[in-house]
Homo-oligomer: A and B are copies of this chain.
Amino acid sequence: MATAEEGGSGTGTLGKAMDVLETVALADRPMRFTDVLAVSGQPRGTLHRQLSHLVQEGLLELRPDHAYVPGLRLLKLASASWARNEFRAVAAPFLDVLHRETGETVHLGVLRGREIIYLDKVESRQAVRMNSQVGNASPAYCTGVGKAALSVLDSEALEAVLKVTEFRRFTPQTITGRTQLLAELGEIRRSGIAFDREEHEPGIRCVAAPVFDAKRSLVAGVSVTGPAYRVGQTELDDWAPRVRQAAGAIMAELAARLGPQR
């Protein structure tokens, strides 16, 4: 039985199907049968049936050229997921305030395992266009929101995340070791503020604060992000109190709105 190979541990058929779906949906180009076969480690017959089922369910699409691409049903499901997310709804007005105060892009992200999933984003100009950022997953250890979120985990939960974190260097500033990350998290715990100084994307800086509920069943963060040419440490320090305040206000509202009845 050994240790779990991937997501599909304990969830039987569904887990295996989701592994295949994720492989195809998160690939950066359409995959053909053989491409999937190579990474999935499943026998031909099995994989073929799994892919057929995923296509029949509308989770994948099989193009005439035999390439598998993500299906439209994913969009439909996610749209409902986003539209009725209570946390997002509670936070939205505070994100707007923060955006108005700083004039820069504001993000809301939730911790899911070792990743931050962006739930919302408020930015200034530009034609409205469904933001490629919403729903995006980034590693927690090298983003402002991610580090803020990690800083409020208890040691057990943090350990669980660290165990599955692979430190990859995205920029010269990326944190690349456990020790370095732990030191920084200590600093964040003291100040209540996390910075991302071009650690994930070159030229992008950010200041973030953690948002969480009493039982740490929700661990998230808010951030203000901007391009390095416009945003220096001065600006980040300047915004820090406002970000912390927004985070606090969201938590207060969460406690009031979701606390009582749950």
A interface with B by C-beta (< 8 Å): 7, 10-15, 17-18, 21-22, 25-26, 28-29, 53-54, 56-59, 63-65, 69-86, 92, 96, 99, 110, 112, 115, 117, 119-124, 126-132, 134-137, 215, 217, 261-262
Residue of B nearest to A131 (CB): B130
What distance in Å separates the Cβ of A70 from its nearest Cβ neighbour in chain B? 3
- Inter-chain CA distance A130–B75, complex, in Å, is 13
- Pick the contact of A14: B53, B69, B75 (CB < 8 A): B53
* Whole-angstrom distance between the Cβ of A109 and the nearest chain B Cβ: 10
Contact in complex: A135, B84 (CB < 8 Å): no
Question: Judging by beta carbons under 8 Å apart, are A78 and B135 in contact?
Answer: yes
A59 nearest CB neighbor, chain B only: B18
Taking A64-B262, A69-B85 as given, write out 15 further A-B residue pairs in contact, using a Cβ cutoff of 8 Å, ordered by the A residue number: A12-B13, A13-B14, A14-B17, A15-B56, A28-B84, A29-B84, A58-B112, A63-B217, A72-B81, A74-B81, A75-B119, A76-B135, A79-B136, A121-B130, A130-B131
Give bound CA distance, A78 to B78, whole Å: 6
Are A77 and B74 neighbours in the complex by a CB distance under 8 Å? yes
Tell me the smallest distance from the CB of A123 to a CB of chain B, in Å. 5
**B128 & A53 in contact (Cβ 8 Å cutoff):** no
Q: Are A70 and B53 in contact (CB under 8 A)?
A: no
CB contacts (< 8 Å) of A81 on chain B: these are 25, 70-72, 74-75, 78
CB-CB under 8 A from A59, the residues of chain B are 18
For the complex, what is the distance from the CA of A215 to the CA of B63, rounded to whole Å? 12
Query: Can you give 10 contacting A-B residue pairs, CB < 8 Å?
Result: A7-B57, A26-B76, A63-B262, A72-B81, A74-B77, A74-B81, A76-B137, A96-B127, A120-B130, A130-B131
User: Is B13's CB under 8 angstroms from A117's CB?
Assistant: no
**Cα distance, A124 to B124, chains bound together (Å):** 13
